[in-house]
Chain A
Amino acid sequence: MIAPELAAGAVRLALDRGATDAECTLAESEEFSAQVRMRSLEKLKDAGSCRAGLRVLIGQRVGSSHTSDLSGAGIRQMVESALAVAAISTEDPFAGLPDSSELGSLTVDLRLYSEDIHKFGTAARIQAAMEAEEAAFGTDPRITNSEGAAFGAYTGSRVFANSRGFAGSYRMSSCSLSATPVARQGDAMERDFWYSIARSHANLESPSAVGRRAAERAVRRLGARKIATQKVPVIFDPVTARSLIGNIFEAVEGDGIYRKASFLAGQLGERVASRNVTVIDDGTLPGLFGTSPFDDEGVPSRRTVVIDRGVLKSYLLNTYTAKKLALRTTGNASRGVTGNAGVGHGNFYLEKGDHPPEEIIRGIQQGLYVTELIGQGVNIVTGDYSRGAAGLWIENGEFAYPVSEITIAATLQQMLMDVEAAGTDLEFRGSVAAPTLLIREMTVSGR
């Protein structure tokens, strides 16, 4: 691991050279990936890198810089560079570091790093990817081709120090396994994928489970039809519900709020969703991907209730956006290694409901079960929502046939109010999660 003193040293040097405040981030990472395709090894990648970033204040002026050269000369150049750009910036009365009283780090073991990540050698990692692809081929005779399967492993560390006395660091690990099979029927081809990702090797799903699930997802898309344009109930499966919850994050993060660039600006305390919607941000859940002992300004991570049974309770803020809104930081500062911090999330999720997903599907006479969303058509300023979709058509409570080449549209405001049920199937596969969600009505556009 890189020496944490390097960050404190860069901060001291910046102060010596005329900065009134400074903060330094170091990030180090090692990545490994093995990709197999059609039963043989295709790509192997193994490498690591380090980055340092510095942000300085001269009074109320701010400047930032970064470098991949961590030598003494590289660090000195980074300091001079940040000071030089601070000189051309404008005084910002809201610029600053967190108050000393806000700084700190969680001390419990957050299980972000697991030594067992190194347990498997290259050969065993390749073998796991091979097994995942083989399981996909074995699931259905219509899986005739493959874009491959991959095993990935990552370890990294992050160091942060500032001129208000904060110094902290933590290590992270993760490993992942994915498969992308291609199913064929006549001239039609469909691909889909599935994956497992965990901080510890022990928590990774088996290659056969990943391969089988990927194959099932690809095969069930075969024979897709384009349906007529109509308004129907829409069920988001946990994969697509996760993307919808990601849009909710964009609408509650402080940058968009103080600029009035979100449809949820000015709505604190108001009902913005149905009673079935409770949204939490929690950066303290051990072993998960949105967890950290402190945010990227040195403020401890925490649990924040964002929407409580439909009522907007809190935005997610860093020091700057909190000052702009006359609120307090929620420990959600986020950045790469440099620049003014933006707002990020911890584990951002929609609380599970009490309806098993099968029951939600059974309750629909005619509607759409969405398994894939593509494109960017979400406008957080207005709430307008229109995205490309694929999924399964529901008739009389059962899946009837796959559908594709359609769009689904509404506004996020209406969709939130129209959440009629949340499933029991909440699981974390990354830092954003949601269970199956039923939306009362959306416009499905097709033929």
Chain B
Amino acid sequence: MPLSDSFFGQKFGITEHDLDSYLSEALSAGGDYADLYFEYLASSQLSIDESIVKSAVQGVSLGIGVRVISGERTGYAYSDDLSPEKIRKAARVAACIASGPSKVEKTGFEEVRGRDLYPIGIAPNETSLAERVELVKRADRAARAADRRVFQVQASYLDSLRQVLVATSDGILSTDRQPMTRLGVAVLAREGDGVAQRGYSGGGGRVGLEFFEIEKTPEHFAREAVRQAIVQLDATPAPAGEMTVVLGPGWPGVLLHEAVGHGLEADFNRKKVSAFSDRIGQQVASPLCTVIDDGTIRNRRGSLNVDDEGAPTQENVLIEKGILRGYLYDKLSSRLLRSSTTGSGRRESYQHIPMPRMTNTFMLAGDSDPEEIIRSTPRGLYCANFGGGQVDITSGNFVFSASESYLIEDGHITRPVRGATLTGNGPEALKHVSMVGHDLKLDEGIGMCGKEGQSVPVGVGIPTVKIDRMTVGGTAR
């Protein structure tokens, strides 16, 4: 699409000549590279609580970020005003990082050819509010009808449409229109005067509203949230100590995100502060494990046509049959490590400096029957659902919190246990994987990843996996 037909060309009259002059201003004090990131974000949020639509919010956020790179140095400034004076001022501030003549020879822009991983006609925020509010009302009704023990229901719906334009001094010009939606249901259930338990379920992606009619309905999320809360009513304290852990398919893939994903982001490895630094080619997992980060899966929450530096996303093999194959690069780390970008440069907004991030991270399916995996386990913990996790990339120690798990006794799943945190060490944990199921499943689209104060949407996935040894942090012996 020519710039004049793009969102920023149409709405703000931005021309190639403007972009050229802003980039020249950014490189006026020297530097190897500069880029501009224009962002226009329209968002809405609707929620129902106690069967009342108590909160409805709409908003717009607009701005531009200017970055200058000189060697290992980055200068950054932003403005929420797109007037030429303000953009030039931001460019001059970012330029302060450099000194000396610029080494950049600019020769016009080449437009990144379009592909559309989220081909939706009408973005959710372009539909009527009444249509969207019906989704949370339906979720509320379904959750209340699902079980008499449910006493609180909150359902929330969020959508956003982000328009971006990236222009770089090495000649990239790319535009993208990035829709996102998510519907979530949280419930509390209680038996008589007993202890309350909560359940949560949600999902979405870079999809249109038809997703909630065809693929996952509000009723689906409502019933799943209720099911989780009801299971917890009978849960007993989780065990403590090292044991066999079987992860169910889907969202438990958050293990990969914490145990290996973050440690493979190239900024940490350039600085040699990751437990995975200098380990390319080494065995870091059992030969049953192949781990991929793929930003090109259609309609997924973690997918992008182009990353936030204008580079096309791609499928990146992180671990192949247990051997560490590659890191995730953004532009800066690929320049400094003489590699090429893997389309992993992401940022939260125009106010943030891009860095290497994950997109959709998952393990390829193996050939074990999931039921056989359970049958082969004399004693252990089966984890069906997780909250979040966290990792210390330097020591490699990570945790993730199970929100729905069960004891495995004599090859059978027996009874539910309460939430517990699991802990392990990144380069070691996956070496204990002894079986991988044929049932790879991606999560339903709720992941949010935080790094150095920036949040970006991500996806995860995993088949049923047996890990022979992992520390479970319950209270029961």
Binding site for B on A (CB under 8 A): 37, 40-47, 49-51, 53, 62-69, 77-78, 81-82, 84-86, 88-92, 95, 122, 145, 147, 182, 188-191, 221, 224, 226, 229, 259-261, 338-340, 372, 374-377, 379, 381-382, 384, 386-388, 390, 404-410, 443, 445-447
Contacts and interface: CB of A to CB of B under 8 A. Distances in A.
B74 interface: yes
Contact of B421 (A40, A67, A90, A388): A388
5 nearest CB pairs, A to B: A407-B473, A388-B399, A375-B399, A66-B59, A85-B56
Contact of B473 (A88, A226, A377): A377
Nearest to A87: B129
A82 B58 CA distance: 7
Interface stretch (B47-55, B113-121, B369-377, B432-440): B47-55
Nearest to B239: A445
Nearest to A80: B58
B74 A49 contact: no
Contacts of A45: 75-77, 353
Interface string B75-95: 111111000000000100100
B54 A375 contact: no
B214 interface: no
A376 B401 contact: yes
Contacts of A408: 473
Given A47-B76, A69-B60, A259-B188, A386 B420 contact: yes
Interface in B423-477: 423-425, 471-475, 477
A226 to B, nearest CB: 8
Given A67-B60, A69-B62, A89 B55 contact: yes
A176 B6 CA distance: 41
Contacts of A37: 271
Interface in B255-292: 271-273, 275
B406 interface: no
A44 B188 contact: no
A65 B196 contact: no
B395 A42 contact: no
Interface in B217-255: 238, 240-242
Contacts of A443: 240, 473-475
A446 B423 CA distance: 9
B5 interface: no
B78 A445 contact: no
A85 to B, nearest CB: 4
A407 B53 contact: no
Contacts of A445: 240-241, 423, 471-474
Contacts of B351: 47, 49
Given A405-B425, A407-B399, A90 B241 contact: no
B392 A44 contact: no
B471 A261 contact: no
A107 to B, nearest CB: 32
A50 to B, nearest CB: 6
Nearest to B151: A260
B411 interface: no
**Which of A69, A89, A122 is most buried by chain B, counting CB atoms within 10 A of its CB?**
A89
A37 B336 CA distance: 15
Given A405-B397, A445-B471, 15 more contacts: A40-B72, A45-B75, A45-B76, A46-B76, A47-B90, A64-B57, A68-B60, A84-B129, A91-B52, A92-B52, A191-B392, A381-B188, A384-B419, A390-B397, A407-B473
B1 interface: no
Interface residues of B, number: 77
Contacts of A339: 45, 55, 57
**Which of B196, B401, B423 is most buried by chain A, counting CB atoms within 10 A of its CB?**
B423
A407 B196 contact: no
* Interface majority SS (helix, strand, loop, mixed), chain B: strand
Given A44-B96, A67-B60, A447 B419 contact: no
Nearest to B271: A147
A47 B93 contact: yes
B61 A44 contact: no
A377 B419 CA distance: 7
Contacts of B74: 42-44
Contacts of B399: 374-375, 377, 387-388, 407
Nearest to B40: A68
A154 B390 CA distance: 28
B14 interface: no
A438 to B, nearest CB: 19
B80 to A, nearest CB: 4
Contacts of B400: 375
**Which of B56, B273, B391, B424 is most buried by chain A, counting CB atoms within 10 A of its CB?**
B56
A62 B241 contact: no
B62 to A, nearest CB: 5
B380 to A, nearest CB: 15
A190 B396 CA distance: 9
A49 B78 contact: yes
Given A49-B80, A386-B421, A85 B57 contact: yes
B171 interface: no
Contacts of B271: 37, 145, 147
B419 A379 contact: yes
Given A40-B72, A377-B419, A261 B77 contact: no
A382 B472 CA distance: 19
Nearest to A191: B394
B198 interface: yes
A46 B60 contact: no
Contacts of A375: 388-390, 399-401, 421, 423
A261 B472 contact: no
Nearest to B388: A376
B401 A42 contact: no
B275 A189 contact: yes
A407 B475 contact: no
A64 B353 CA distance: 30
B471 A405 contact: yes
A406 B423 contact: yes
Nearest to A82: B58
B81 to A, nearest CB: 9
Contacts of B80: 49-50, 68
B98 to A, nearest CB: 10
A44 B421 contact: no
19 contacts: A43-B353, A47-B351, A66-B57, A67-B60, A84-B58, A85-B58, A88-B133, A90-B53, A259-B152, A339-B57, A374-B397, A381-B196, A381-B198, A384-B419, A386-B473, A404-B397, A408-B473, A409-B240, A443-B474
B326 interface: no
A33 to B, nearest CB: 9
**Which of B59, B80, B97, B472 is most buried by chain A, counting CB atoms within 10 A of its CB?**
B59
A93 B328 CA distance: 52
